[in-house]
Amino acid sequence: MTHAADIAALVEEVKELLQQLLALLPEQTGDASQGTTTHHKVSGSPAPWHPEAGMVLLTIHEEARRLEASLRGLVVGHPGRRRGGSDANTVEALNAIANLVHGVPPAAANRAARIIERWLRAGRQIGDIGEEEPWVPIPVPYGALPPLCPYCQTFSLRMLVLARQVRCVNRACRDRDGRPPEGRLENSRLNGDPQISWADGRVTYRRDWA
């Protein structure tokens, strides 16, 4: 069960994230997909933009208003008047969310927490913030197919490259223990080939990926 205090703490984290995102907006990156430390301020430009930060910021601005309206509808029976588009109104929407969750069913509070956590993950995975590594497809040689998930037989495997953690992002997928599949990319002690060691004891070898 998600408690209102937990959501209030998440909201405070989002507020801090908003400040980081706003600080990045006047800057451009050399590689928007990777992020870089070689920033330069944009002067004389009508629309300075950091692509990653801008998209996350817009997502939070829009979805915070939708989430507030949804929660308010559950509490008082109507969504209320939509807030304006300023940054201050986004903060007010977040404050309202933290208050409204006190009066909604547990399922609605859990859903709100998942939405807020998604905002935080998206922000932390921005290259120029770099507080959380993004989940990406398993790297393979050029032209090769990525490995299939051995449980659901889809191309749904993702990994944290630095941590070498692997998981299946297919929400319906389960391992032999009935849990969402999680594993670790390792190198075989016999021949050095890549292999994935799964939490349920299964091992997927490189030769099985094709």
Q: Could you tell me the two tokens for 59?
A: 């997502």
Q: What number is the average pLDDT over the span 91-108?
A: 95
Please give the pLDDT value at position 61. Answer: 95
> CB-based contacts of 171: which residues, under 8 Å, 6+ apart?
180
Please give the pLDDT value at position 35. Answer: 42
What's the pLDDT tens digit per position in 65-93? 999 999 999 999 999 998 998 999 999 99
Residues forming beta bridges with residue 197, ordered by sequence position? 184, 203
From first CA to last CA, the distance across the chain in angstroms is: 41
DSSP E strands: which ranges in the chain? 27-28, 40-41, 136-137, 157-160, 165-168, 182-187, 194-198, 203-205
Residue 40: how many other CB atoms lie within 10 Å: 9
Please give the pLDDT value at position 111. Answer: 93
> Phi, psi (5° rounding) for residue 60?
-65, -45
Among 21-30, 96-105, 195-204, where is mean pLDDT lowest? 21-30
What's the pLDDT tens digit per position in 157-205? 998 877 788 999 998 999 999 999 999 988 877 777 888 999 999 998 8
The three state secondary structure string of 85-103 is CCHHHHHHHHHHHHHHHHH
Which tops the pLDDT comparison, 49 or 146?
Answer: 146
Average predicted confidence (pLDDT) for the chain: 83
Range 38-41 contact pairs with CB under 8 angstroms and sequence separation of 24 or more: 39/128
Distance CA 122, CA 170 (A): 19
Q: What number is the average pLDDT over the span 99-122?
A: 93
Domain residue ranges of the chain, discontinuous segments joined by +: 4-124, 136-208
Query: DSSP class of residue 206?
Result: G
Biggest CA–CA distance in the chain, Å, is 65
Which tops the pLDDT comparison, 15 or 27?
Answer: 15
Residues in the chain: 210
Distance CA 157, CA 185 (A): 11
Amino acid at 75: V
Query: DSSP class of residue 207?
Result: G
Can you tell me whether residue 148 is helix, strand or coil? coil
